[in-house]
C-alpha cells in the first residue's frame, strides 16, 4: 500500500475539486477616494497603484470595477473645505453626494463611509466637546450621533445602497437606523465598523483621505488590541441596534478576531484589508521580494478562511483581474 496519504488530493484537478474555501470578485469591495479639490486623478504616494478621483471620474471607475465583477465600492470623500463640525459631510452638494449623483443607476452596490475625520479641521471622528483646555480631543458622543445620522441620511438621499459608520461612537448604529427609517430609507443597509482597533496600519489611508488627527490620537474611541474581552459586547450592541453587516478592521493581524466574530454572529462579516497592509505588500513587490498578485490573492483567501463573507481591499481590482 502506498504511503502518499493526503498528497493524493493535492494533484492538479483534484486539488481544485476538493477545495472548501473559494474567492470570487463578487466577494470584494473596492475603496474609492473622491476628492472635491482636484480636476484630474491624483496618485497616492503612500499607496502605489491607488489614486484620488475627481467627482466626474467616479462613474467610469465604478463602471470599470463593475465590469470586473467586483461586488461593491466603498466611497471616501475629501471635501472642498473643513470646519470643526464637518459641515461638508452632510451637505447636499458634498463630495460623496455629488459622486453618488454622478454615478446614478448602476448594478454596483454603492457603499459610503460615514464618519467625520475627513471633514473636520481637527481630524477626529466626531464633534469635540467644549473644553477650556487647548487642543482637547474628547469627542462629544451625543453631538456626534446627531451628525452621523444626518450624514447617513444625506448619503441615502443621494443614492447610497449601504452606509458604513466608522466613528466608533456609542449608539451610532441605532441613531443611524432611526434616522434612515424616519427619512423613508428603510431599505438602506448599515455595514457597521463594529470592531475597529486603534492601529498603526491606518497611516497610508490618513494620507490618502487627508484625515489624520491634527492633535492627539484616536485611542479614546477606537478599540484596544490588547483588550479582546470588549469584542463580543461591541458586536452584540451593534446587532441589537440594527446593523445588517459588520466590519472587523484591520484584518491581517486580527484574523483571530475575524474568526471569532464570524463564528458567533448571524450577520455577514467583512474583513477590512487596510491601507498599511496594502502598502507593505506593494513595497515588497516593488523590490521583487514577493509576487504582488499571488500574495494579494493568498491574503484575501486567508480572510475568507477565517470566516469573512466579504473583503474590503485595495487589491480588489488586481485580484478580480487575476480571477478572470
Q: List active site positions.
A: 196, 249
Query: Which letter does DSSP use for residue 46 in this model?
Result: T
Question: What b/e readout covers 102-125, taking b as 16+ CB neighbours within 10 angstroms?
Answer: bbeeeebbbbbbbbbbbbbebbbb
Contact at 8 Å (CB) between 95 and 79?
yes
Per-residue cell: 123: 481630524
Contact at 8 Å (CB) between 115 and 77?
no
Per DSSP, which regions of the chain are E strands? 28-35, 42-43, 51-53, 72-78, 109-114, 162-165, 189-196, 245-249, 269-273, 310-313
Contact at 8 Å (CB) between 262 and 306?
yes
Q: From CA 94, how far away is CA 50, in angstroms rounded?
A: 22
- In the chain, what are the helix, strand and coil shares in percent, each to the nearest 5? 45, 20, 40
Give 132: exposed, middle or buried? Use CB within 10 Å, 0-12, 13-18, 19+. Answer: exposed
Reduced to 3 states (helix: H, G, I; strand: E, B; else coil), residue 183 is: coil
Reduced to 3 states (helix: H, G, I; strand: E, B; else coil), residue 216 is: coil
Amino acid at each position: 500500500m502506498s504511503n502518499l496519504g493526503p498528497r493524493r488530493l493535492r494533484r492538479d484537478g483534484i486539488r481544485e475539486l476538493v477545495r472548501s474555501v473559494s474567492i470570487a470578485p463578487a466577494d470584494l469591495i473596492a475603496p474609492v477616494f473622491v476628492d472635491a479639490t482636484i480636476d484630474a486623478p491624483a496618485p497616492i504616494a503612500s499607496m502605489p497603484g491607488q489614486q484620488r478621483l475627481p467627482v466626474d471620474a467616479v462613474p467610469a471607475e465604478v463602471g470599470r470595477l463593475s465590469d470586473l465583477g467586483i461586488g461593491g465600492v466603498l466611497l471616501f470623500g475629501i471635501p472642498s473645505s473643513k470646519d470643526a463640525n464637518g459641515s461638508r459631510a452632510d451637505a447636499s452638494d458634498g463630495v460623496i453626494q455629488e459622486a453618488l449623483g454622478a454615478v446614478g443607476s448602476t448594478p454596483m452596490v454603492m457603499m459610503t463611509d460615514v464618519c467625520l475625520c475627513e471633514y473636520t479641521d481637527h481630524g477626529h471622528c466626531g464633534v469635540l466637546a467644549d473644553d477650556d483646555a487647548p487642543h482637547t480631543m474628547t469627542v462629544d458622543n451625543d453631538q456626534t450621533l446627531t451628525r452621523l445620522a444626518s450624514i447617513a441620511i444625506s448619503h441615502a438621499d443621494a443614492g447610497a445602497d449601504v452606509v458604513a459608520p466608522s466613528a466608533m461612537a456609542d449608539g451610532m448604529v441605532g441613531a443611524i437606523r432611526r434616522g434612515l427609517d424616519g427619512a423613508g430609507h428603510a431599505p438602506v443597509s448599515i455595514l457597521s465598523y463594529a470592531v475597529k482597533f486603534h492601529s498603526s496600519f491606518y497611516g497610508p489611508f490618513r494620507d490618502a483621505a487627508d484625515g489624520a488627527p491634527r492633535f492627539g490620537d484616536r485611542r479614546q474611541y477606537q478599540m484596544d488590541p490588547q483588550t479582546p474581552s470588549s469584542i463580543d459586547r461591541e458586536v452584540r450592541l451593534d446587532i441589537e441596534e440594527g446593523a445588517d453587516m459588520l466590519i472587523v478592521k484591520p484584518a491581517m493581524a486580527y484574523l483571530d478576531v475575524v474568526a471569532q466574530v464570524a463564528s458567533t454572529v448571524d450577520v455577514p462579516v467583512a474583513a477590512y484589508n487596510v491601507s498599511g497592509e496594502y502598502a507593505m505588500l506593494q513595497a515588497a513587490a516593488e523590490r521583487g521580494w514577493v509576487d504582488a498578485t499571488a500574495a494579494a490573492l493568498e491574503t484575501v483567501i486567508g480572510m475568507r478562511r477565517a470566516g469573512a463573507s466579504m473583503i474590503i481591499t485595495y487589491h480588489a481590482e488586481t485580484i478580480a483581474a487575476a480571477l478572470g
